[in-house]
């Protein structure tokens, strides 16, 4: 059984970022120019209940081994790669709308979450992450000292 990689921390490592290159600029002119190198942003939904925040991402065609989720108590970073497995030998493309290559989404959360209570699943091209909301601030009474 393979697991979705989830890392926790206070800041996101920028070593995996998908930078924009000169070749990507030419991709808008000719969609077949480095088709496997184009950056894409998969659609995401965020919704919440009284107890948790749920993130649903549509990332069909991404292998779990090429997917990573990083979480701190304020944001979630989802990044990975969708490999192009379509044989391009002797093919003439007439339309190229499916994006391949690196993607990254950083989603800021509407409330703090408990990083100890996180789960993720990946099925039928959808990544679903459940984040338990952090318990609301507890009231702590302090005694006032007199001189």
Has residue 111 been placed in a domain? Answer: yes
Question: Of the ranges 47-56, 71-80, 134-143, which is most confident?
Answer: 47-56
How far apart are the C-alpha atoms of 109 and 132, rounded to whole Å?
11
Direct distance between the N- and C-terminal alpha carbons of the chain, in angstroms, rounded to an integer: 64
Among 8-17, 19-28, 48-57, 79-88, the minimum mean pLDDT is found in: 19-28
How far apart are the C-alpha atoms of 117 and 137, rounded to whole Å?
17
Structural domains counted in the chain: 1
How far apart are the C-alpha atoms of 108 and 106, rounded to whole Å?
7
Has residue 141 been placed in a domain? Answer: no
Has residue 26 been placed in a domain? Answer: yes
> Residue 24: pLDDT above 50?
no
CB atoms within 10 A of CB 90: 5
Q: Give the phi and the psi of residue 132 in degrees, each rounded to 5.
A: -75, 130
Q: What residues make up the domain containing 28?
A: 17-85+98-133
Structure confidence at residue 146 (pLDDT): 73
Q: What is the CATH number of the domain that holds 115?
A: 2.60.40.790
Give the strand pairing for 113-123 and 126-133. Answer: antiparallel
Kind and range of the H or E element at 121? strand 113-123
| Whole-model pTM over 0.75 | no
For the chain, percent of residues with pLDDT exceeding 70: 70
């Amino acid at each position: 059984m393979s697991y979705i990689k989830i890392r926790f921390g206070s800041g996101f490592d920028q070593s995996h970022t998908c930078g924009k290159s000169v070749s990507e600029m030419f991709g808008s002119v000719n969609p077949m120019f480095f088709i496997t190198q184009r950056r894409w942003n998969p659609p995401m939904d965020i919704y919440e209940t009284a107890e948790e925040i749920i993130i649903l991402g549509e990332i069909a065609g991404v292998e779990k081994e090429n997917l990573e989720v990083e979480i701190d108590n304020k944001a979630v970073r989802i990044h990975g790669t969708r490999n192009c497995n379509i044989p391009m030998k002797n093919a003439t493309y007439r339309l190229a709308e499916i994006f391949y290559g690196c993607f990254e989404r950083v989603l800021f959360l509407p409330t703090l979450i408990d990083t100890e209570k996180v789960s993720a699943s990946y099925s039928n091209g959808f990544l679903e992450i459940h984040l338990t909301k952090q318990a609301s601030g507890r009231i702590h009474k302090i005694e006032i000292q007199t001189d």
